[in-house]
A and B are shown apart, each in its own frame.
Chain A
Amino acid sequence: MSDKTFKAAFVNTLVYAIGTVPLTLACSLGLAMLLNQKVKFRNFFRTVSFFPYVASLVAVAAVWNMIFSPSMGPVNQILATLGVENLPKWAAGKDTAMLTVILFSVWKNMGYYMVIYLAGLQGTNPELEEAAELDGASKWQIFWNVTLPQLKPTTFFVIIMLTIASFKVYDQMYMITQGGPGNATMTLVYYIYNVAFVNTPKYGYASAVSMVLFVLVLFVTIIQFKGSSSND
């Protein structure tokens, strides 16, 4: 318990989960609501949104690394021409590294959850929405009080999947930040890998950390199951 890296990894995993889960949820639901209406080029927009999920994570992470490169990357070049001083260092900065990884994950995964939400939206009853509209409810009210409750099973599934996936995050850290700078993006799974396979292997300790991760995921999932079933 006196292991500082472990503590950092534990906290970072929670921060990452708290950052990605609501953001991905909101983005994918918003996108699904947009693309569930009648718009032109709907299939094109749906395909484009799903694109990042299809591509290999390693490949797109490499591209992101270059685009967000602090010195040469196009993003910072554009910011510099716009007159921004103090250019963000993205993956190389202690404060922005986690944000960069979170943004990348949201970008990568929102298409997949958008498809799940689209499937959920197909299953909602349009008559209820029409009835609410005739009763004079605003679009916002219809969304919160009619559509969203019908999507509850979908939302539950998405939240569970997102939470478990964000506790298991490893590839993003390995590709973009290598757990650095310092321990700013060290997460539990990346720490497990480091302890078990890098330098002097400590399989026992790594297994112990894995058990902590297992208990953490189990605990959070049980809480979520309890929370959702008590609402019914």
Chain B
Amino acid sequence: MATTAVKKKTGSMKAQHVVSRVLIYALLIVVAALMLIPFLWMLSASFKLNKDVLYVPH
């Protein structure tokens, strides 16, 4: 009885750990994207003609 309770607890803690890890990485990737997008955009714009810079393909 006691061992199953302990097992259950560690199991839920493990699940919680995984969830928090996933959240952390998701957050970090979003932040990294926000930080990098203007620079990537600048990089891509540097290879384009002036008329194509603000053109979005439909």
**Interchain nearest-CB distance for B20 vs A (Å):** 9
Q: Does A197 contact B (CB under 8 A)?
A: no
Residues of chain B lying within 8 A (CB to CB) of residue A37: 24
Decide: B31 and A67 in contact? CB cutoff 8 A: no
Decide: B35 and A52 in contact? CB cutoff 8 A: yes
Which residues of A in the span 54-81 have a Cβ within 8 Å of any Cβ on B? 55, 59-60, 63-64, 66-67, 69, 72-74, 77
Of the four ranges (under 10, 10 to 19, 20 to 34, 35 or more), the interface on chain B belongs to: 10 to 19
Decide: B38 and A64 in contact? CB cutoff 8 A: yes
Question: What is the interface of chain B mostly: helix, strand, loop, or mixed?
Answer: helix
Residues of chain A lying within 8 A (CB to CB) of residue B53: 66
Taken residue by residue from 36 to 57, chain B's Cβ proximity to chain A (1 for < 8 Å, 0 otherwise) reads as 1111011001000000011010
- Residue of B24, B34, B41 near A107 (CB, 8 A) is B34
- Please count the residue pairs between chain A and chain B whose beta carbons lie under 8 angstroms apart in the complex: 52
Residue in B closest to A72 when the chains form the complex, CB atoms:
B54
Residue in A closest to B53 when the chains form the complex, CB atoms:
A66
Q: Does A45 contact B (CB under 8 A)?
A: yes
Residues of chain A lying within 8 A (CB to CB) of residue B24: 34, 37, 39
- Residue of B25, B28, B36, B38 near A67 (CB, 8 A) is B38
Residues of chain A lying within 8 A (CB to CB) of residue B38: 52, 60, 63-64, 67
Q: Does B18 contact A (CB under 8 A)?
A: no
Q: Does A51 contact B (CB under 8 A)?
A: yes
Taken residue by residue from 102 to 114, chain A's Cβ proximity to chain B (1 for < 8 Å, 0 otherwise) reads as 0000010001000
Interface size on A, residues (CB 8 A): 25
Q: Does A49 contact B (CB under 8 A)?
A: yes
Q: Does A48 contact B (CB under 8 A)?
A: yes
Q: Given contacts A39-B25, A45-B32, is CB(A77)–CB(B39) below 8 Å? A: no
The 10 closest A-B pairs by CB, nearest first: A72-B54, A48-B32, A63-B38, A77-B56, A48-B35, A63-B42, A45-B28, A51-B35, A45-B32, A49-B35
Interface residues of B (CB under 8 A from A): 24-25, 27-28, 31-32, 34-39, 41-42, 45, 53-54, 56
Complex A-B: 28 CB contacts under 8 Å:
A34-B27, A37-B24, A39-B24, A39-B25, A39-B28, A45-B28, A48-B31, A48-B32, A48-B36, A49-B31, A49-B32, A49-B35, A51-B36, A51-B39, A55-B39, A59-B42, A63-B38, A63-B42, A64-B38, A66-B54, A67-B37, A67-B41, A72-B54, A74-B41, A74-B56, A77-B56, A107-B34, A111-B35
